[in-house]
Structure 1
């Protein structure tokens, strides 16, 4: 790090940010937890890039060590070593936590003996500087992920006084510290007294609905009173209080007689007790119908479907016997027994409750309840609302056999080989902890489950296999043994995906391919119910060489948009739902990356599946806006499939809509392919206005743009006209004109400075189908435009294609095809960089310096005397660059055509030089230079680019 860069950063941070150049990478910065970043993400990034470290938090909790363990495992492979300084102050640190610290492979842990050691500091040594984080955050989940913390990040060089003082103080702490070993832990455990947390005494409160339940109850009431609904469905993740929600609604409804139906006898008595707590009344008002009991005359009847749905038993009840019937786990209503039940009874109101309405079979649960969804809270929503226990997901590589990892074709002998068992247990021992109450292991085959249970038990991990061949009583006994601590693991295939609650479970181990997001959520949800002293859940996923690996980031982040860029970004996330962490080892991350890159996410089959899924939910044909609003698919995906010309074409292929005239189809494809993305809302606002009135003057259009906070000048007005006249697209697209895809007849014409639809468009708008699609595209595009700053051409860190850039720079023609890596046009030169941090066959090597510059190359052959190089370097009489350089970067080619906009770049004149590059075996001359970022890159983008360093890119590219 150059002294001048540090001086500038310090002066900007401490003296005057306008006079001096700020640099978040070096300058003092306040670090806290907020919606976009957390303290932990900063610390993790420092760890992954440092040469050594000292973590000095007085207090550490075991559950926060999980994310640290996988980070340190990566550092260990690079030979990076560090120190942890902590304490036994106030007894906050438990003996179990100290035991976990001993597992860390590349860390010396010391217990500071200085009385009252209460430090909260984190220190990292890099190649040319040191960085310190000092403030309020201990190493706990709340402090590093959620609490309102204040930490100062500051950098210095070795000779700096601050660095010397820190070094001296840390050395003093270490001199007065004991090295952590088993002897210390044994002695500490003998005398350990857990601190007593004083909490104010609270008076027993009357049961009342929580926030989620209150909202659901209001919507149920609205459905019944205003919409006269006879049926409704509640979709709520396991552990979010569905039972009490049902009881509260029954209390509000006050039925004369009520029936509760479920398919499991085990929960009848517990459910009855919960309802009685809410509804009150004598015990004789409540009856059980199932398990040998037939109490059918009570006011409130709690029945199993197995008992009630027998024809001879149903015959004992009148059709209107109950005015309110609640069906729990309503996703089973497709079964014949439930169909008999629903055909027999005619209550005033049916309520279905389920966590998983989407079935792997074809039954339409939504239709069974008239598509009336009263309330929906997903697993992701419940985690974000902290209704469930947070989790730590660790994706590790499954065992390799002779260089080949477990795949769909693995044999039983491979799945149960002693080496694989050893590998699994080694990972469980490292990431798990001695206080674990028990875990569920999901594998792929029944014989595998049995063999693994036997092998686990032989290695000191008492385990039992459960399959669908085991009776319900056998399963119940197994669960009781797990809860009692007699078993460590229950190993199963799929039978515990639903219908079982074991709140004490704090480990979920996945030894199978991720087949679907539904199953992933079901299995993850088995461990998320809250339980006393249960702080978090360890989710250990053994990732093999599976084609479906692309589903993992999608499932973890609840991302239903089949978009490769989004999935790649999801893969980089390390914190989700406020308190949950996600980490992968390098090999498993690479496997997922490759699965995303090789999977055709926009395949017609997947689009059809999403269409059918949303159609079931809505009970009608979904529109683009529905896909957006329901977070089902990115509405732009329908134009990405090369065999489809947009969503209308999909509906036409599915024979859902009638055929439109060819020209009408072309107009819809143009709107969807070019304007739906919302990256510039000007055209959408104009089209929306023209739908409301026949014409719009330029003056009115300018006023409309100002009202919507849109930038407006003569250039953008001319560009809008070129786009809507379709002249912008009169360029080659392969062997044909791109304009041929949309037709040559303009959508909007301008006459006497007044905009109006082309007569052909006006005629098409008389067709209801065309108009519906037209309005839907505009509505969806305006919704998507909310992600972009309308007051400027480009929004920092949003993604753009070359074609988007041509349009937003107001160029009269789309020259994206020959644009390649850059092009100087008048006073602007957009630059597109695919990040290549490693030396490649073509010789280009990007380097990001101090997070404020990136090394960039012109095309070859080029020299300092080349015309375009001279244009790039040209300055006016005041020394200002004559050419603007909007800079766009993408981490890898896997990001397809979209680049992140990182602002206007400037050239460091001292860095400009000619270089000889080896390309295709020949030396070619190019000019290299450093481009200075408008702002230092944000933490998340640094992480994405850093991840790109681990992905091989040995193929040549023509972007430069």
Structure 2
């Protein structure tokens, strides 16, 4: 380790070209574009430490919350920590001190030093210590948003600097006061924040307050005005819950200036709030605004706010002429497939019809987009809304469900298991631990069954947590009564099932608890959205999701990230690297809960024809025509590669869906199959650009010189080996064995002494316009996907590749059968290594148990095939690093299929190369060579953690 540390110091302070390691000094700056944050580094350090010590002047509840899942995992491992803080400038609020006392494995003390303003984080790792010093306090803004400078350094235990730090921190620790409940009580009684927020003593009528559109609303208003200027009479706005859809509609009414307006909602309790919001925006007389519901019949107003239940009645509709309203708005318009909505929409003939929803995707077959002539005026989803600071930040915690006798709850749990007292105690313990903003819970708890919700509410009341229970059987009056009790602090929780997924506005909600298996990512976001409306009573929302052994756990990362690509690799990444979430929100999984999600991803079949048909239909409904591969890529729905390779090509999929324009010949289908398998993934741009250029002008490239220029003009590698590889790919001479047989001599180009030209067979296929359309769709989609890959290097670190892809991209002359490659192969200066880290107890793929292991983010312990000795030819290549480039590709287990993460280039550590005799299955021994491989650059920590943490 000492040698690596010395090398890291050389790299940091002497020569940046020196190979680095995990121990490199690091400058940490919050970078939103790169999704790199101080918070990420703290998570990484906590995940591997044996002890930690924070010395921070300022803490906030949200900053502490963002680390609580890591603290819980450390507690499970028996790891403890210390936090030294203060009351300097009265910044730290009493609530954060109360939160600190709920963390059982952390001891907290308060410095008495005047002007205590430190920001230091110390971690004791297994073989070294690391510390971070800089400008970041333990606040969410400092950890994720603010422009901060911090430096991470590593040291051996006997280094002078760490000795000085430890000695100083111990001295400060022993001179500080212990945090106790009595201390917090006294502090709260005398607490006066330095900054006093004084309410304006002048009472202002809300109707007189001038409100201006936010960024999202301004864009939407321009688009809506543009729709009407083009003569369109309908439009739909897709906007996340809490982003101000009602205000937006009022602003648009203001710019459209209709004589009469109808606003339709599906719940009566929303009417008054909508009416108030409109009056604040539009002003006017009180009599201009009327309610049309079961209890009020104010139908003569200029602005009528009606429930769908009342408005859809025949005798109510008959009171109005069909053109009575110039402008009609339908809230929660995804419900418009219901008969009551259709009666209203079909009856009236407004000059403009606006629909608003947060979740337009439906699974009931009804096409919302068609209803509005596919005019999507504006769309803003959860991630974008968080980026624009439209929503209340949230901290999501994927928490381990109750476990009994080593077993987690499953989908089939009975009511006795769900409500047994041990589980209730466990739920309360976790809910209390993760807490909420300002420690005054106003929470919704979503259950899977009515009897569970009812009994849990009763048991929570017994435990001193005032709660109530609501279901679809309760009246609107009953629901409103319980919501008022919750907001007024008379109860802490409402347990519910089947209601409150949408259409309810409870701004003071500061805690969402999910006690149910995720059945739909749409419902998941709807339930999450119940707490995302901003309110002065809270700084953030806590979302606590109890994750059991459920088959649908894969939907959780799908819902949180918005990634519906059905790409398992993407879902895995969104589980182990959760820093995709914007703003000062965070996503955290306890380690066991994370394990349950990985298991679900491995077991689920995401590319079943049933699932693919569902995604196809959703996009078809959205754009109003047959979607092609490029449409799926642009709309960021299912990964087009999955659609195109589920069968021979996307054409075959369209045939299955009965959506193909015409039939293709067998030869045309073969070309689409090859292009889909080899080019669509976008791993190398060369073939895509080459083919697209030739098709658009088949005389534009006639020789190697013009091809080289094409690649150079597009910023691509254009050396001789790469050009030769591209030509061998398009002539199909790279492919061998069964692949060559499948491709059946369907070359795209001919390369002869006469130069480069399209092959006769391919030229013949291009005469079919439908074939050409489908082929160009593959090429254009591949170019879009290629943006994820580097153009200055044949391979991109952390992308996934099949063995065949690696050989092609490294310009090998021909393909090798995967079985012949096995764990590694070498040729023409390239030595490529493929490892599977978790082989499983049932693994029988080799006679010998190969124990390849990532020792740390810079070191791989690796074994050759057997029988091999120090004199074997490939071992000699490993002892000759001057003439070979060594590359490592890894996958966690065979559950990940045949794709491997590219971990980067490495170098064999020469003095670690050792010949061994290891036992094989029949009890005899065979020779094998073991060695350490050092990566030129450390593996990024989130991927390293994913690959190395056992499931």
TM-score of the superposed pair, with normalisation by structure 2: 0.95
1:630 paired to 2:631: no
Equivalent residue for 2:827? 825
Deviates more, 1:145-154 or 1:199-208: 199-208
Residues 135-163 of structure 1, C-alpha deviation per residue, up to 9 Å, x if partnerless? 11111111112211111111222332211
Residues 10 and 28, structure 1, Cα contact 8 Å, conserved in 2: no
Measured after TM superposition, the shift of residue 556 of structure 1 is 1.5
In the TM superposition, what are the counterparts of 1:84-233 in structure 2 within 5 Å? 84-196=83-195, 206-226=210-230, 228-233=231-236
Equivalent residue for 1:592? 597
Residues 649 and 669, structure 2, Cα contact 8 Å, conserved in 1: no
Measured after TM superposition, the shift of residue 836 of structure 1 is 5.0
Equivalent residue for 1:391? 394
Match of 2:611 among 584, 592, 606: 606
Q: How far apart are the structure 1 equivalents of 2:643 and 2:363?
A: 24
Deviates more, 1:413-422 or 1:239-248: 413-422
Equivalent residue for 2:935? 933
Equivalent residue for 1:654? 657
Measured after TM superposition, the shift of residue 289 of structure 1 is 2.3
Residues 382-427 of structure 1, C-alpha deviation per residue, up to 9 Å, x if partnerless? 1232211122222222223444322222111121122221221121
Could you say what secondary structure the match of 2:825 adopts? Answer: coil
Deviates more, 1:65-74 or 1:926-935: 65-74
Match of 2:380 among 377, 381, 395: 377
Could you say what secondary structure the match of 2:107 adopts? Answer: strand
Distance change in 2, residues 1:839/1:745 (3 Å): closer
Residues 806 and 816, structure 1, Cα contact 8 Å, conserved in 2: no
Equivalent residue for 2:35? 36
Measured after TM superposition, the shift of residue 572 of structure 1 is 0.3
Equivalent residue for 1:807? 808
Could you say what secondary structure the match of 2:24 adopts? Answer: coil
Measured after TM superposition, the shift of residue 624 of structure 1 is 0.6
Equivalent residue for 1:440? 444
Equivalent residue for 2:69? 70
Q: How far apart are the structure 2 equivalents of 1:476 and 1:27?
A: 57
Residues 31 and 153, structure 1, Cα contact 8 Å, conserved in 2: no
Equivalent residue for 1:509? 513
Equivalent residue for 1:955? none
Measured after TM superposition, the shift of residue 125 of structure 1 is 1.6
Could you say what secondary structure the match of 1:881 adopts? Answer: helix
Q: How far apart are the structure 2 equivalents of 1:872 and 1:12?
A: 25
Equivalent residue for 1:11? 10
Equivalent residue for 2:733? 727
Match of 1:555 among 537, 556, 559: 559
Equivalent residue for 1:48? 47
Q: How far apart are the structure 2 equivalents of 1:87 and 1:155?
A: 27
Equivalent residue for 1:958? none
Residues 671 and 746, structure 2, Cα contact 8 Å, conserved in 1: no
Measured after TM superposition, the shift of residue 251 of structure 1 is 1.2
Equivalent residue for 1:471? 475
Equivalent residue for 1:313? 316
Q: How far apart are the structure 2 equivalents of 1:440 and 1:903?
A: 47
Deviates more, 1:605-614 or 1:203-212: 203-212
Q: How far apart are the structure 1 equivalents of 2:531 and 2:925?
A: 59
Equivalent residue for 2:25? 27
1:581 paired to 2:577: no
Distance change in 2, residues 1:919/1:66 (3 Å): farther
Measured after TM superposition, the shift of residue 840 of structure 1 is 11
Distance change in 2, residues 1:722/1:11 (3 Å): closer
- The number of aligned residues is 934
Q: How far apart are the structure 1 equivalents of 2:491 and 2:23?
A: 50
Measured after TM superposition, the shift of residue 36 of structure 1 is 2.7
Query: RMSD of the TM alignment (CA)?
Result: 2.2
Could you say what secondary structure the match of 1:924 adopts? Answer: strand
Residues 857-908 of structure 1, C-alpha deviation per residue, up to 9 Å, x if partnerless? 111111101111112223xxxxx62122122223333332222223322221
1:950 paired to 2:942: no
Residues 196-220 of structure 1, C-alpha deviation per residue, up to 9 Å, x if partnerless? 1579999998422111111111111
Match of 2:466 among 453, 462, 468: 462
Q: How far apart are the structure 2 equivalents of 1:397 and 1:869?
A: 46
Equivalent residue for 1:500? 504
Q: How far apart are the structure 1 equivalents of 2:57 and 2:272?
A: 47
Q: How far apart are the structure 1 equivalents of 2:295 and 2:46?
A: 62
Equivalent residue for 1:236? 239
Measured after TM superposition, the shift of residue 9 of structure 1 is 1.7
Distance change in 2, residues 1:836/1:467 (3 Å): closer
Could you say what secondary structure the match of 1:320 adopts? Answer: coil
Measured after TM superposition, the shift of residue 95 of structure 1 is 1.9
Could you say what secondary structure the match of 2:334 adopts? Answer: helix
Q: How far apart are the structure 2 equivalents of 1:402 and 1:155?
A: 41
Equivalent residue for 1:792? 793
Q: How far apart are the structure 1 equivalents of 2:276 and 2:471?
A: 31
1:683 paired to 2:687: yes
Measured after TM superposition, the shift of residue 269 of structure 1 is 2.4
Q: How far apart are the structure 1 equivalents of 2:913 and 2:309?
A: 80
Distance change in 2, residues 1:199/1:789 (3 Å): farther
Deviates more, 1:920-929 or 1:446-455: 920-929
Measured after TM superposition, the shift of residue 813 of structure 1 is 2.0
Match of 1:868 among 871, 874, 877: 874
Residues 669-712 of structure 1, C-alpha deviation per residue, up to 9 Å, x if partnerless? 11111100111111111111112112322222221111111101
Distance change in 2, residues 1:412/1:931 (3 Å): same
Residues 325 and 350, structure 1, Cα contact 8 Å, conserved in 2: yes
1:768 paired to 2:769: yes
Residues 28 and 155, structure 1, Cα contact 8 Å, conserved in 2: no
Residues 837 and 949, structure 1, Cα contact 8 Å, conserved in 2: no
Residues 237 and 355, structure 2, Cα contact 8 Å, conserved in 1: yes
Residues 261 and 302, structure 1, Cα contact 8 Å, conserved in 2: yes
1:572 paired to 2:576: yes
Equivalent residue for 1:327? 330
Distance change in 2, residues 1:345/1:389 (3 Å): same
Residues 868 and 929, structure 2, Cα contact 8 Å, conserved in 1: yes
Residues 547 and 595, structure 1, Cα contact 8 Å, conserved in 2: yes
Equivalent residue for 1:543? 547
Equivalent residue for 1:954? none
Structure 2: unaligned runs, 5 residues or longer: none
Residues 822 and 832, structure 1, Cα contact 8 Å, conserved in 2: yes
Equivalent residue for 2:291? 288
Structure 1: unaligned runs, 5 residues or longer: 732-736, 875-879, 952-960
Measured after TM superposition, the shift of residue 109 of structure 1 is 1.0
Could you say what secondary structure the match of 1:464 adopts? Answer: strand
Distance change in 2, residues 1:820/1:173 (3 Å): same
Residues 246-270 of structure 1, C-alpha deviation per residue, up to 9 Å, x if partnerless? 1111111111222222222222222
Residues 228-278 of structure 1, C-alpha deviation per residue, up to 9 Å, x if partnerless? 222111011110010111111111111122222222222222212222222
Distance change in 2, residues 1:421/1:795 (3 Å): same
1:404 paired to 2:403: no
Q: How far apart are the structure 2 equivalents of 1:908 and 1:296?
A: 84
Distance change in 2, residues 1:919/1:570 (3 Å): farther
Residues 209 and 280, structure 2, Cα contact 8 Å, conserved in 1: no
Q: How far apart are the structure 2 equivalents of 1:211 and 1:31?
A: 27
Q: How far apart are the structure 1 equivalents of 2:259 and 2:754?
A: 70
Residues 436 and 507, structure 1, Cα contact 8 Å, conserved in 2: no
TM-score of the superposed pair, with normalisation by structure 1: 0.94
Could you say what secondary structure the match of 1:889 adopts? Answer: strand
Could you say what secondary structure the match of 1:154 adopts? Answer: strand
Match of 2:670 among 666, 669, 682: 666
Match of 1:260 among 260, 263, 282: 263
Residues 608-641 of structure 1, C-alpha deviation per residue, up to 9 Å, x if partnerless? 1100111111111111111111111111112453
Equivalent residue for 1:743? 744
Q: How far apart are the structure 2 equivalents of 1:549 and 1:667?
A: 38
